[in-house]
Amino acid sequence: MLSGAQNGAPWFSAAELAAMALPGMPATKRGIQLRAEVEGWVAPEHEGVAWRRRVGRGGGLEFSAYALPVPAQAALALAEQDRKAADEADTFMAERRREDLWRRYDALPDRLKAKAQKALRVVEAVELLVQAGTRKTHAIMQIARLNGVGHTTINNWYRDLHGIDRCDWLAALAPHYAGPVRSVECPAEAWEILKADYLRLSGPTFEACIRRLQDEAKMRGWTLPSTKTLKRRMDALGPQLLTLCRKGEDALIRMYPPQKRDRSMFHAMEAVNADGHRFDVFVKWPEGDQVRVVRPVMVVFQDLYSGMVLSWRLDISENKEAVRLAFGDMVERYGIPSHCWLDNGRNFASKWLTGGVENRFRFKLREDEPQGIMPQMGVQVHWTRPYSGQSKPIERAFRDLAGDLSKHPKFEGAYTGNTPMNKPDNYNSKAVPLDEFVAVVAAGIREHNERVGRRSAVCAGKRSFAQAFAESYATAPIRKATEEQRRLWLMAAEAITVDRRTGVVTLEGNRFWADFLHDHRGEKVVVRFDPQNLQADLHVYRLDGTYLGAAPCQETAGFADKTAAQTHGRARKAWVKAQKEMRDAERRMSLQELQQVYDRTNDDVPEEVPEARVVRPSFPAPATHGNAALAVLPDEDAELLREEAEEAEMRRVRNVIRMVR
């Protein structure tokens, strides 16, 4: 049985119980009363629980479910649940009606909202007179005369307000009439022809499509709506569909709002991104005894947390050597990042940098592919979406930095314009000397980093990129590179098969050999070498990154400088071709001269590097493929000294050769 009439349980009279026709209960009032007397429902000890005296006119007794048999209690409980569900449904529908009223009101223009506000003032004036004791009919007539409104109109307003809560009167009084919608019929086939003609990537004008359709309609006897009507129906398809059909998918993607990503989640040097930019400036680029006019390319690494430019390199083209050297400058100066977002170009996806990283856009991952510099240093590489400047924050820096630098006063006459159709009147009237160009770029990058009042999340409109970077860098856990890791970005990795008979490794016509290579005859190994000095010792690794040793050059047959060939993206076959390719290769030996000029420029204005107070050691990351992790063993001090002496001697010899020429 139920727990009784406590906690607000309902009470029923004998007549109400009889009208419910509950199972096992009499169907008359007298039958209920007799049942109560026989079963003792009205026992004194059950008063207030099973029965109570009715308060009010007529008196009598009321009974709770506690006094009823179990079948009747169950039927009564089900009926109560149905009543609650009906009440909830009524409440829900009432709320829906309120939402519909206010949604309709909000969609109206101001002139119709003003009519609703005027109607509300009239109705409230009538209500005020009624509360003062005036009959409603007289109040309506009086207010109608004073406001110039018909009393029938006021009565219609009261009709609209019937059953509406007073807080919703304004929305209920809003005009909701609508004029008749007249639609001019258009033959279905004609409409399909018009859509097929207009919704093309060629983007024909609507007037031209209409003229063709009207000619067809005359031949077929169609009656067409007006041009304005058809244009209105075409525009109703939506700008998204029209853009996709007439301008293509890329234009549609540009309509989607770009994602605003929060970079303050990082700390300084935790994440970087890189890209290349070609300047719109003509520069005199020395190539041996000649000077070539080019538009230089700058490869830049940028800190994602602060937006500060960390390192940059200039070259004739965007190539893997420039990317590698810029990455080395960043690591040497500031440390090793944990994450790096790279462009999907061939030079950034080069195996020298990202070999072994999966999901590259440009190259497939091979089993015998050597690990690149970034994976070996534990840098997690992320690839940006192809042809999407929004996914690379450095593109914003290029617009701010490179765009202003190209229009520097010292470059007047050398500026090319940002598009072929936007050439200045003094186009190609001047070319800037290389040393002057490098000095201006260096000064511009310093100003870009130190400009106060940046409005990024971390600068908050008060600090510069450099200040935000230095503040975070001082307390961030920075990974510094070891001597062995520094060798990684100064060397270029190649997978070469060791000679099966002699154990000799041949690279660009130069033959390298050491005793330990006999144990790896016929196997593929990874070699790292200085591209500017191919006669220096060759450092040999297994494919899994294990260091084997240094192999000295036994026979000098190859060309001494490979950097220039890699800079122009030509294959190594260029060194064994005819005299014309050899002459061009000789001209391309100017990259080292550029590096020397760049170094002298930086020496003139030394850049202050913030001190990293929290330094954590950097350990090589596990190989992304293969069976073992990279294990680089340090060389002996004597070996290091010998290598440094040989490199210094080679630099001296090259300088002497240039002087003789």
According to the model, what pLDDT value does residue 578 have?
A: 52
- Asked whether residue 582 carries a pLDDT value surpassing 50, the answer given is no
- Asked whether residue 631 carries a pLDDT value surpassing 50, the answer given is no
Contacts of 622-626 spanning 24+ positions with Cβ under 8 A: 623/356, 623/371, 623/375, 623/544, 623/545, 624/356, 624/357, 624/358, 624/371, 624/375, 625/356, 625/365, 625/367, 625/369, 626/356, 626/371, 626/543, 626/544, 626/545
Greater confidence (253 vs 658) lies with 253
* Confidence band, pLDDT 50/70/90 cuts, at residue 447: very high
According to the model, what pLDDT value does residue 568 have?
A: 37
**What's the whole-number mean pLDDT along residues 140-161?**
87
The 10 Å CB-count burial string (b at 16+, else e) for 517-553 is: beebeeeebbbbbbbbbbbbbbbbbbbbbbbbbbbeb
Tokens of 137: 């009919």
According to the model, what pLDDT value does residue 207 have?
A: 94
pLDDT-wise least confident of 74-78, 122-126, 600-604 = 600-604
- Asked whether residue 487 carries a pLDDT value surpassing 70, the answer given is no
Taking only the tens place, the pLDDT of each residue in 276-325 is 889 999 999 988 778 899 999 999 999 999 999 999 989 888 887 788 87
**What's the whole-number mean pLDDT along residues 525-537?**
75
What pTM value is reported for the model? Answer: 0.51
**What's the whole-number mean pLDDT along residues 225-242?**
90
* Confidence band, pLDDT 50/70/90 cuts, at residue 588: very low
**What's the whole-number mean pLDDT along residues 517-543?**
82
| 274 close to 299: Cβ distance less than 8 angstroms | yes
According to the model, what pLDDT value does residue 176 have?
A: 72
Tokens of 105: 């009101």
- Asked whether residue 90 carries a pLDDT value surpassing 70, the answer given is no
Taking only the tens place, the pLDDT of each residue in 162-179 is 888 888 888 888 887 655
Task: Give me the DSSP letters along 596-621.
Answer: HHHHHHHHHSPPPPPP-SEEEE--PP
In 136-199, where does DSSP find H-type helix? 136-147, 151-160, 169-172, 188-198
According to the model, what pLDDT value does residue 213 have?
A: 92
**What's the whole-number mean pLDDT along residues 30-45?**
78
Greater confidence (547 vs 445) lies with 445
* Confidence band, pLDDT 50/70/90 cuts, at residue 632: very low
According to the model, what pLDDT value does residue 657 have?
A: 47
Query: Across all residues in the chain, what is the average pLDDT?
Result: 77
* Confidence band, pLDDT 50/70/90 cuts, at residue 334: very high
According to the model, what pLDDT value does residue 72 have?
A: 81
Q: CA-CA distance, 314 to 326, in Å (whole number)?
A: 9
According to the model, what pLDDT value does residue 421 have?
A: 83
